């Protein structure tokens, strides 16, 4: 697919409608483009790339909302609350740390961030044995914790 300015502007507009934070919306667009490119490089034929990426945007936004909802019970438990402005910065910090990891770790964590948490599905998607996926995931998380500092967890 030839990525035109129109395609990118349509993706960005959709992402901004789904997520109010412009930085997170841009991250969502990049994730959708990366997902499309990764699938294409692995031989998947995507007949309609734009609808595919629009769906990826919608799923990514939904996954972000689910993660935010999972944080809500912590807020009501009397723990110190993170200001609304700080959470996107922390999310961005985590995503930047993921991007600095070695490619195998980065690819695996991107799938987890996108919402795929079943080891069998990750193994199938990546063409690896489940045990390999589990050990790589443990190493990737350990490297991510080290990159962010242990106190972040």
32-75 pLDDT, tens per residue?
888 888 888 888 888 888 999 999 999 999 988 888 777 655 45
- 8 Å CB contact between 4 and 49: no
Nearest-5° Cα angle at 144, 20 to 80:
60
- 8 Å CB contact between 99 and 110: no
In this structure, whether the domain defined by 84-153 belongs to CATH 1.10.10.10 is answered with yes
pTM to 2 decimals? 0.46
Give the CA distances from residue 45 to residues 1, 108, 144, 152, in Å, rounded to whole numbers and listed in that order.
Answer: 11, 22, 32, 40
The conformation of residue 4, written as its DSSP 8-state character, comes to -
Domain regions of the chain by residue span: 1-81, 84-153
67-107 pLDDT, tens per residue?
877 765 545 455 555 444 444 455 677 778 888 888 888 88
- 8 Å CB contact between 92 and 22: no
């Amino acid at each position: 697919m030839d990525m035109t300015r129109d395609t990118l502007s349509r993706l960005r507009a959709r992402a901004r409608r789904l997520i109010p934070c412009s930085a997170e919306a841009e991250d969502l667009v990049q994730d959708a483009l990366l997902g499309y490119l990764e699938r294409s490089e692995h031989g998947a034929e995507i007949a309609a790339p734009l609808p595919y990426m629009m769906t990826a945007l919608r799923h990514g936004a939904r996954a972000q909302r689910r993660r935010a909802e999972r944080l809500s019970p912590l807020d009501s438990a009397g723990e110190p609350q993170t200001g609304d402005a700080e959470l996107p910065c922390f999310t961005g910090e985590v995503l930047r740390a993921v991007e600095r990891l070695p490619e195998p770790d980065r690819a695996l964590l991107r799938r987890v961030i996108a919402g795929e948490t079943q080891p069998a599905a990750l193994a199938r998607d990546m063409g690896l044995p489940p045990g390999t996926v589990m050990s790589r995931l443990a190493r990737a998380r350990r490297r991510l914790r080290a990159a962010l500092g242990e106190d972040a967890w």
